[in-house]
Structure 1
Amino acid sequence: MRYNFGQVNERKFSFVAKARYFFIFSIIITILGIGTLAIFGLNYGVDFRAGSSVDIALKKDLSGQKDAIEKYLGDSGFGKPGLTVGSNRVTLRFNDVLTDAKEKELKAGFAEKFDKGASFEVNTVDTEIAKELQTNALKAVLVASIGIVIYVSIRFEWRFAVAAIVALLHDAFIVISLFSIFRLEVNLPFIVAVLTIIGYSINDTIVIFDRIRENLRFAKLKTSADVANVVNESIWQTLTRSINTVMTVVVAALCLLIFGSVSIKLFSLAILFGLISGAYSSIFIASPLWLLLKNKQKPKAAVKSPAAS
């Protein structure tokens, strides 16, 4: 199907004409994120720091006894570990590795005082393993990003690849910053969520890029304003698909967040943050950024696009 790109449709919102404001907004969010990470850092879970994690499956409902559990732990010499209490599960996060004697004492004391039918799962991570997991997590994100750059460069061109990777890093950084601001625990499921977000975001971005490439084949391009018009029309043509896709996945992620177990709630929350950020970057950041890069190869006498004005 061929489209007429001869004139800009003034009745439609122009994504490229307003791109400057979206870029400024994203830059502000990025600066705030850097500030929060510099001041607060990340709240690493046991997966990324030395310590022990104790997951207790309950036969009784202890959701109203969080204070009693905290008092018991303090009186028994276990200090103040991270504590999450659900209707059928209690999760403890210790900054230090529990010795065998302490582990047995915890199991026996908790079972006697709160729930004799409780079952325990203890996971311990030492300092070396924690550092290795941190390194491997960074490698996973880096390798995924490099793979995406190579794929997009081969399928499209390097400008599309640069725009795509900037959008992906934007999405990942937004999620990381929000977890830092709200002091949410960063663990291995969080890394899985970030990689999932990267995969979802690049898929949404590629759909728009593919439409831009297709429309460029049929458009008569004389000035950079014509290219801007193609980009704007391409975003509008894929907008319904992008919104429908993100809303469908948001509903699924919300259900996991509300009805899922405690162990996947933070994963679901990270996915929700990433879905919103991914939809925003695919529509408002990636394509206008490609246009900005594309215009850099134009002669100086060429008419500037709305995104560059």
Structure 2
Amino acid sequence: MSKLGNIGAKLHRGEVSYDFIGKRKLWFSISIALIVISLGGLFARHLALGIEFRGGVEYQTDVKVTSSTVGDFTSAVKATNAKDLGDPVVTTVNDNKVRVQTRPLSQDDIAKVRSAIATEAAVPVDKVSTSQIGASWGSQIANKAIWALIVFLVLVFGVIWAYFREPKASMAAILALIHDVTITVGVYALIGFDVTPSTVIGVLTILGYSLYDTVVVFDKVRENTRGITGSNRFTYSDATNLAVNQTVVRSINTTLIALMPVGSILVVGTVVLGTGPLKDLSLALFVGIAVGAYSSIFIAPALLATFKEREPGMQALRRRVLAKRGATATTASGTPVPVAAGAAATIVNEPSARKQDRPKAGTPVTSSRPVKSSTSAGRPQPTRKPRSKRGK
């Protein structure tokens, strides 16, 4: 078995353990910092909504792409002085195509921009393709994406509640999903990638992935906490921490295996293709899978343990467990020493007893061990002769 496999087996058996739940304040602090950075980037830079959401006109034509292509086409489009043109978005596709996106324009301005692009690319006007997306249609797409996200979260809450019969588990899972979405959207705002329908698909996909990982951990928590109030061995946080340790290696392996192909697609979509739905989808998947694995290990179980520890029954269990662990033994100097449950009676005043039983100098030493009698029930016991005196 590999070294990682040995560690996983020891974690599952509880032979080694990392205190994930005990360090919950650290994980919460890291997540709060990431969320603040994400929200700061979102409000400072805003999302770069694709043309599908904000509406506009898109032009594409074949051209030999050079280092000055983007600047040349940007200047050519601005020179048309079209009304409400704004800043056109010029991108290259591979090394033989250019794409220009503008705000919604009138038919006359669309023709002027199309002619300017054809002139700059040195191609006939009919070689420049155009597609128009109305602002109202883009608004409808954005609203539907938001509603899809809301419906998804509501269904997730209901399904987890029905499966675990525990509203606190649903609440912890939903908060973890919101955590994942916020950080993913913040990364999009900071990097400046366009938000397209492919991005929405990617976000919904990573939510499902994160939820799957969280449910696996919660299922192990339910197994470890079944009938926990009838025992004084573990608190709810202890059982939850054991569940995380038992599933952490599996979560890490699954995440790494998923990130490798998604990372390859991200590199191809960004470096090779330059733009398109592949880049938008792969970025959402890459960021979401990584953040989802983090929240499934560090955030969702810690939230669940925090919620459950507030229940009166769990608080009473915690007091019993701590009282049991707090059994102490007193040394000869009177210093209390914490000991394991059940061991206090065997070591209380043990050093003192040894000191009292120690014989003084010059005093004959007598054994305190019982001496076997030569008779048993009045009958003499046979004795064994030395070998030299035995008869042949």
**TM-score scaled by length of structure 2:** 0.68
SS at match of 1:296: coil
Residue type of the alignment partner of 1:76: T
Identity %: 26
Listed as ranges, the gaps of 5+ residues in structure 1 are none
CA change 1:272–1:127 in 2 (3 A) is: same
- Give the conservation status (yes or no) of the 8 Å contact 1:83–1:92: yes
CA RMSD of aligned residues (A): 3.0
**Pairing 1:247–2:251 present:** no
Query: How many Å separate the matches in 2 of 1:115 and 1:197?
Result: 44
Query: How many Å separate the matches in 1 of 2:252 and 2:10?
Result: 24
Query: How many Å separate the matches in 1 of 2:112 and 2:244?
Result: 61
CA change 1:169–1:106 in 2 (3 A) is: same
Listed as ranges, the gaps of 5+ residues in structure 2 are 1-8, 323-392
Query: How many Å separate the matches in 1 of 2:266 and 2:127?
Result: 24
CA change 1:224–1:165 in 2 (3 A) is: farther
1:82 Cα offset (Å): 1.1
**TM-score scaled by length of structure 1:** 0.85
**Pairing 1:270–2:284 present:** yes
Question: Which is higher, the Rg of structure 1 or of structure 2?
Answer: 2
CA change 1:16–1:124 in 2 (3 A) is: same
CA change 1:61–1:160 in 2 (3 A) is: same
Summarize the alignment of residues 14-163 of structure 1 with structure 2, pairs less than 5 Å apart: 14-54=19-59, 56=60, 58=62, 60-62=64-66, 64-77=68-81, 80-86=87-93, 87-94=95-102, 96-114=103-121, 116=123, 120-156=128-164, 157-163=166-172
1:18 Cα offset (Å): 0.6
Query: How many Å separate the matches in 2 of 1:4 and 1:113?
Result: 67
Q: Using CA pairs under 8 Å that are at least 6 residues apart, name the structure with larger relative contact order, 1 or 2.
A: 1
1:109 Cα offset (Å): 4.1
- Give the conservation status (yes or no) of the 8 Å contact 1:141–1:195: yes
Q: Deviations over 1:143-167 (max 9, x none)?
A: 0001111111111121111111111
Aligned residues: 300
Question: Is the deviation greater in 189-198 or in 260-269?
Answer: 260-269
1:217 Cα offset (Å): 3.7
Aligned to 1:187: 196
SS at match of 1:98: coil
1:244 Cα offset (Å): 1.6
1:282 Cα offset (Å): 0.4
CA change 1:223–1:185 in 2 (3 A) is: farther
1:89 Cα offset (Å): 3.2
Query: How many Å separate the matches in 2 of 1:234 and 1:243?
Result: 14
SS at match of 1:12: coil
Question: Is the deviation greater in 246-255 or in 112-121?
Answer: 112-121
Query: How many Å separate the matches in 1 of 2:280 and 2:263?
Result: 11
- Which of these residues, 279, 289, 303, is aligned with residue 289 of structure 1? 303
Question: Is the deviation greater in 180-189 or in 169-178?
Answer: 180-189
Residue type of the alignment partner of 1:126: G
- Which of these residues, 221, 227, 242, is aligned with residue 236 of structure 2? 227
Query: How many Å separate the matches in 1 of 2:318 and 2:226?
Result: 21
1:219 Cα offset (Å): 6.5
SS at match of 1:303: helix
Question: Is the deviation greater in 224-233 or in 130-139?
Answer: 224-233
- Give the conservation status (yes or no) of the 8 Å contact 1:257–1:269: yes
Q: Deviations over 1:11-38 (max 9, x none)?
A: 5221001111111221232233333333
Query: How many Å separate the matches in 2 of 1:4 and 1:111?
Result: 67
Query: How many Å separate the matches in 2 of 1:121 and 1:211?
Result: 56
Query: How many Å separate the matches in 1 of 2:238 and 2:44?
Result: 43
